[in-house]
Structure 1
Amino acid sequence: MKWKIRKTNRHIITYSIIVCAVIGLFIGYGIVQSKPEVIASVNGQNINKDQLYDALVQSSGKQVLDSLISQKIVELESKKQNVVVSDADIQKEINKYYEQYGGEAGFIQALAMSGYTLDQVKKDIVDNLKVKKILEPQITITEEELKAYFEENKATFAQEKQVKASHILADSFEIANQVKQKIVNGGDFAQLAKEYSTDNGTKENGGDLGYFGSGKMAVEFEEAAFALKVGEISDPIKTEYGYHIIKLVDKKDAQEANYEQSKAEIRDALLDKKIGEEYDSWIQDLYQQYDVKNYLGQ
């Protein structure tokens, strides 16, 4: 396990995802069988599960096992210190992801695209919060540090102009136009998205894309969305993905960076940074306190 600092960009695939994927393969293939199961062949030459397991251990075994040991140490240490992570704590962190991805729909869409599950995200959050609750009381952040960080990263605390939109994606202009006419005739946009949209990442949420700024969507889509008035619905818009019916839900004007409004976010960023700096030495100290035995390779 590594301390996974919460990112402020739109990336969710991190070291932890790679670890989870390899662990899954270990669980699936790690039991040595008397008659190894064939999983592939080349010109009649078989490749079995034992060979895959051995290759995984050789390439990533130490990294994954170190992560599992660290996770277990954090679990035991948090119990020892009576550290509790509540459902409210977890939801608060998930809400931060919602903000980063422009809303719940954007976050769910990112998960669907990455192959990462919400349960895996929650597991990472719990692990991180346990570490954070243990180390935070040992860390000091001064007003001077907060102000210096703000000045050095002022551009990241400014808010660009954003819009919140929903869409229905269709394969053809004819289908998109038919859906638009259903909306004009009083049809419910969200319900029609569930029925007709081919965007599997958003259709179940009524086509909700959350908030986004410039450069985040296909050019044709973005130009159409920013040109709409709140509540207005576009004609079919063609992009490389198909034909979109866009509904503009809300607009946010650009805002300059404000220190007082950003103070809590700055403190979180500095706290994450300092915990990241302390984590390796802290976990190594705990390695010495716990009875850790590593039999990999024996």
Structure 2
Amino acid sequence: MKRFIAVGLVWVFMLGAVVVNAAEKKSTKTGTAKKAAPEKWVAKINDKYITLEEFESRWNAIPFQYKYQYGLFGPEGKIRVLDTLVKNELLYQEGIKKGILNSETITQRIEDLKKQVVAEELLTRQMKGLEANDSEAMSYYNANKQEFGEPEQVRVRHILVKAETEANEVLAKLKKGEDLAKLAPEYSIDPGTKDKGGELGFFSRGQMVPEFEEAAFGLKVGERSGAIKTAYGYHIIESEEKKEGSQKSFDEVKEEAKNAAFQEKQRKLFEAYLEELGKKADVQLKQELLQ
């Protein structure tokens, strides 16, 4: 649900590792004494320990939706997370050896990640407690019924040619009883369908160019069109099958509608909040420099 506050697991771990280790690196510049092993640690990578406390902090910071998405539950999930932390630490230490941390590019990326995490935490707090009720779900359903059902679909074959004279030649052969599926490999210039007898499969409205769509949906099963001109050339379309559309009731999709209403509510709140911040701030743009 929290579409505006998502951040990849690996980057969460990497940001934490970079920030923590960078701080440790600074603190050890003043002395070379080796740190004693902490009392409770879950991993040791060279001289770096991942303490139980540090691990639990990282574990608890992983949003539930990520734990669900990646199946991170129970001891097995914790072991997978620890494995990721160890791998990231290995990569981090190797990068330090190669002097990568001090590069300008890495410094900028760390700053960018800090800004991202701070912004996401701000939005999390700003939207805390936000939810959509049944009335809002119903309103969304009524305004967006096309999202909650199966659209009408048609399955057709077609032959695409460049010139109208070629289309008329194909139509003449079809009128004499020849099979469109057998003529497609010979005449069609559509590389995706010519070797399949012109078979396009099922599609719904909005997936094809308007002229083609209007002709395809206007045919009865078994009917054939004339030469239909589009930006691609001339099509001869033959209807194979139709599936009538269906509409699901509100009760069938109540939770789905509620989630969609929540997303819409969240988006509007997000936009309003940004607009409010923009009005309070001194924001100046020099867009002419981007031309």
Superposition TM-score tier, normalisation by shorter sequence: 0.3 to 0.5
TM-score (norm 1): 0.35
TM-score (norm 2): 0.36
Q: Who wins on radius of gyration, i.e. which is larger?
A: 2
